[in-house]
Chain A
Amino acid sequence: MIVGKKWAGPALALTLAMTGCGGGGRPAAAETFELTETTPAATGDVASVTWALPAGEPASLDPARTGDYSANTVGTNLCESLLRLNTDYSTSPGLASEVTQRDATTVVITVRDGVRFWDGAALTAEDVVYSLRRNLDPRLASYSAHVFANVASIDKTGPLEVTVRFRTPDMQFIPDLAGVPGAIVEERFATRAAARFGTASGGLMCTGPFRLDGWQSGRKITLKRNDAYWDAGRRAKAATFQFVFLTDSSTLTSALLSGEVDGVYGAPAGSIAALRKTGAGRLYFGPSTETVSLGAVAADGPAADPRIRQALDLAIDKGSFVTSVLKGAGEPLKTFTPPLAWSGSPAKSVYDAGYAALPDTAKADLGAARQLVTDAAPSRRDLVVALPAGDQSLLQTATIAQAAAQRIGLTMTIRQLQPAEFSGLFYDPGLRDGIDFIATTGYLEVPGALYYAPGFVLKGATFNWTHYDNPEVTRNITAAVSATDPAASARAFVAAQAIYGPAKLQITLAESYNRLFLNKRITGAPASFSYISSAWAALVGQA
């Protein structure tokens, strides 16, 4: 996602800084990148798989404390959600056999019958109510609290029925249940473990195709197959699945090449060339919701002027950005919501048409950009772009923006902020003083065109830092989040996007393809970014 938690893991960034160009990759300008949503299905079981987590050891596996690469990559195989996320970002029933939007402010969840936790206890409506309500507790400080911001009540309304009521309509809620916000844990176990729930010593109790077997702090997390898994068709193919923490990209690449590690999501971009050449396995590229952007964060000054943002957008050549920073493994985007977000929606065609109609600014147009700057006649021409310290790819991104700004008569200063300072920007307007743009990467872990837009474009919304206010946009977004018909919602969204898109509240540079490496002995893992919210490891088996 564009905001907050989703910028690339600081641990990874730090080691990239230390190893420099250790990966030894060369920009793959002339190479082609074939995108695939899935890898060939596994032909049989395997005894064990060793998987690397390039973002390091997860801080916690408690779904309420899960919201980054490592925790999601591991945790979604353990604690399942009410809905399942498919490789095309469509959803299917999961622990809920059905979720229905009864009216604009009521969602009814039917809990699947016959599901058991790893300890043999049956999944109940109480567990579902407990798991969802946890996100409302300020002391728990759930990472998913924002998903529940409009929720008025969560109650059991039948033996296997839970009803969620809303203060204001929120069409994004149901798709959010396909991610960590909809993950279900056992109430009895979680209340007993209390603060230790989801840690190395506290453990977990969920229903997933794997159970947590061991977590040796700093060394590895081991999952064991859940042989009593409720969905026979999705029983795990690997008897054990081990996760190791390899944040150094050159060490990770060596471990993949030598076969010590079987696979990884988010293979180092700098090692694309080496990983494509090796006979040890295969590097896949999949569609993704990961984006790289420059976000305007100032309520006044040049960045608050749409013409300056448009000028900067036009000055940056997105194609060369993809080549130099993403090593070719990505493509320019027209707006901050990437198309994979809606590719599984019944109203896909409406969204696609709306996206196609947006102006294409992928190629730099310095003449038009300079004209916009002249028209805007900004009060000052010096801008500040902030980024989290140590993130090499964001530093490259900011450097590209800096060069582009210079070509259109603006000066841009790069300011690197410590992690706590950077994350503080999202809560404390005072910390944004003197900063015009931030460079961020982000992703959507759930489907939904409405995941980003309301927070960025509505008056007074959390991330509307430029105080963007357009009545037409507000009317359409409000209609989109209130509509119970997907097509009607899509039409309203597209109408709003046609207006706010060109205003470039976020200068979205590109989508970064999902990079999956699999050792030649295994296959089956989804190649699309959907792994971030699905029990993907269950599919990995013998090649």
Chain B
Amino acid sequence: MIGFVGRKLAGVVATIAVASVVIFGALYLAPGDPASLLAGGHEVTPATMAAIRARYHLDEPFWAQYWHWLSGLLSGDPGTSMAGNEPVTALISARIGTTALLVAYASLLIVIFGVAAGILGGTAGRAVDGALTVTTTVLMAAPAFVAAILLIWIFATELSWFPVFGSGDGFGDRIHHLTLPALALSGGYLAYVSRITRTEVRTELAADHVAAARARGLPRRAVLRRHVLRNAAPPILAVSGVTVAGLFAGTAVAEQAFGVNGLGSLLVQSAARQDLVVVQVLSLLLVSAFVVVNMLVDVLNAALDPRLVAG
């Protein structure tokens, strides 16, 4: 098991290292000179442009720039925002809590309601299953920003149950503010997890060992718990894990739509301003979150089913 975790960890580090070069390279190759944006768009003297380029090492070769960036990151100083002159660490620390809470909230919704709906769909009668299929189809088809518009219209403007925008202060208020964003964010993923769960449950229900257990006269609940769910759990967990990892990227749309000050809206704002320093760090952070969550899911799966370690 320790070897397994070690291999996974090495994979994570390698993936992040490659991602760092790709992210830095992609933004390096992006068209346009970021110095021109920093200059403010007016008539600028060559001296001013040179001063800006020197300050952000924009006049140096690729690997030198990459080294400046990487050594800064490793020493805990990812640099200063080009647009706002604020340290990137300050920008991130002001927002990371909100995004983490939003992702956690949406993850809970996805796992609890997604799995519950899937089990219900897999075991209940045709009418319930049909209703769930229609609901999940709608949820899967609606992009997060469309869901956001609808949720705001119904629950914020018409019913006034939730605020239209913002992140809130204190835990209760933050949960109140983040409910609609979490719903918008989780909708499609929730439907996906429920579909997978339903299929897995159905497959297990049709399996020989379940038929045998039933034939032995085991109560329905026990069959479901011991034979169906235990076997269906690993694939459901794997899918849920990837889904939750993907949430980090999805926050950009949900946070933007609900005026939530998280990392996602910071990424959108920084990308629009072509604030390379911030975009690079955030992109790497999102990739890292995705990779690390995936690794945790793998390890958790392995702990549940030791046969996976050997494979």
**Chain A residues near B (Cβ < 8 Å):** 3-7, 9-11, 13-15, 18-19, 22, 56-57, 59-60, 65, 67, 138-139, 141-146, 149, 195-196, 198-202, 216-219, 244-248, 250-251, 254-255, 257-258, 260, 390, 417-424, 426-428, 455, 462
Interface string of B246-271 (1 = CB under 8 A from A): 00000001001111011001101101
Q: Are B41 and A5 in contact (CB under 8 A)?
A: yes
| 9 interchain pairs, CB-CB under 8 A | A6-B41, A14-B268, A57-B84, A141-B38, A141-B52, A251-B164, A419-B32, A426-B36, A426-B41
Q: Are A217 and B86 in contact (CB under 8 A)?
A: yes
Q: Are B164 and A418 in contact (CB under 8 A)?
A: no
The CA of A11 and the CA of B278, in the complex, are separated in Å by 15
Residues in B neighbouring A257, C-beta threshold 8 A: 157
Is B219 part of the contact surface with A, judged by Cβ < 8 Å? no
Interface string of B37-78 (1 = CB under 8 A from A): 111111111011111100000000000000000000000000
Is B113 part of the contact surface with A, judged by Cβ < 8 Å? no
Residues in B neighbouring A258, C-beta threshold 8 A: 156-157, 160, 164
Q: Are A420 and B36 in contact (CB under 8 A)?
A: yes
Q: Are A423 and B37 in contact (CB under 8 A)?
A: yes
Chain A residue nearest to B262 in the complex (CB): A218
Known pairs A218-B91, A419-B32; A138 contacts B45 (CB<8 A): yes
**Chain B residues near A (Cβ < 8 Å):** 30-34, 36-45, 47-52, 83-86, 90-91, 94-95, 145, 148-149, 152-153, 156-157, 160, 163-167, 253, 256-259, 261-262, 265-266, 268-269, 271-274
Q: A56, A59, A146, A149 — which one has the most chain B CB atoms within 10 A of its CB?
A: A59
The CA of A427 and the CA of B42, in the complex, are separated in Å by 9
Q: Are A5 and B85 in contact (CB under 8 A)?
A: no
Which one of B91, B167, B273 lies within 8 Å of A10 (CB-CB)?
B273
Chain B residue nearest to A255 in the complex (CB): B164
The CA of A250 and the CA of B91, in the complex, are separated in Å by 26
Known pairs A19-B145, A199-B85; A417 contacts B32 (CB<8 A): yes
Chain B residue nearest to A390 in the complex (CB): B272
Q: Are A141 and B261 in contact (CB under 8 A)?
A: no
Q: Are A244 and B259 in contact (CB under 8 A)?
A: yes
Q: Are B30 and A418 in contact (CB under 8 A)?
A: yes
Residues in A neighbouring B163, C-beta threshold 8 A: 260
Q: Are B85 and A196 in contact (CB under 8 A)?
A: yes
Question: Nearest-CB distance from B50 to chain A (Å)?
Answer: 8
Known pairs A14-B272, A248-B257, A251-B165; A420 contacts B32 (CB<8 A): yes
Q: Are B36 and A427 in contact (CB under 8 A)?
A: yes
Residues in B neighbouring A65, C-beta threshold 8 A: 40, 85
Given contacts A22-B149, A250-B149, A251-B259, 14 further A-B contacts (CB under 8 A): A3-B41, A5-B42, A18-B257, A59-B85, A65-B40, A65-B85, A146-B43, A251-B164, A418-B30, A419-B37, A420-B36, A421-B31, A423-B39, A426-B42
Q: Are B30 and A145 in contact (CB under 8 A)?
A: no
Q: Are A251 and B258 in contact (CB under 8 A)?
A: yes
Known pairs A145-B48, A424-B36; A4 contacts B31 (CB<8 A): no
The CA of A140 and the CA of B51, in the complex, are separated in Å by 9
Residues in B neighbouring A247, C-beta threshold 8 A: 256, 259, 269
Residues in A neighbouring B257, C-beta threshold 8 A: 15, 18-19, 248, 250-251
Chain B residue nearest to A139 in the complex (CB): B51
Q: Are A60 and B94 in contact (CB under 8 A)?
A: no
Q: Are A141 and B40 in contact (CB under 8 A)?
A: yes
Q: Are B36 and A146 in contact (CB under 8 A)?
A: no
Known pairs A199-B84, A246-B165; A462 contacts B32 (CB<8 A): no
The CA of A10 and the CA of B274, in the complex, are separated in Å by 10
Residues in A neighbouring B90, C-beta threshold 8 A: 200-201, 217
Question: Nearest-CB distance from B212 to chain A (Å)?
Answer: 53
Residues in B neighbouring A56, C-beta threshold 8 A: 269, 272
Q: Are B41 and A423 in contact (CB under 8 A)?
A: yes
The CA of A505 and the CA of B309, in the complex, are separated in Å by 71
The CA of A19 and the CA of B148, in the complex, are separated in Å by 10
Q: Are A420 and B31 in contact (CB under 8 A)?
A: yes
Question: Nearest-CB distance from A212 to chain B (Å)?
Answer: 15
Residues in A neighbouring B51, C-beta threshold 8 A: 138-139, 141
Chain B residue nearest to A260 in the complex (CB): B164
Question: Nearest-CB distance from B162 to chain A (Å)?
Answer: 10
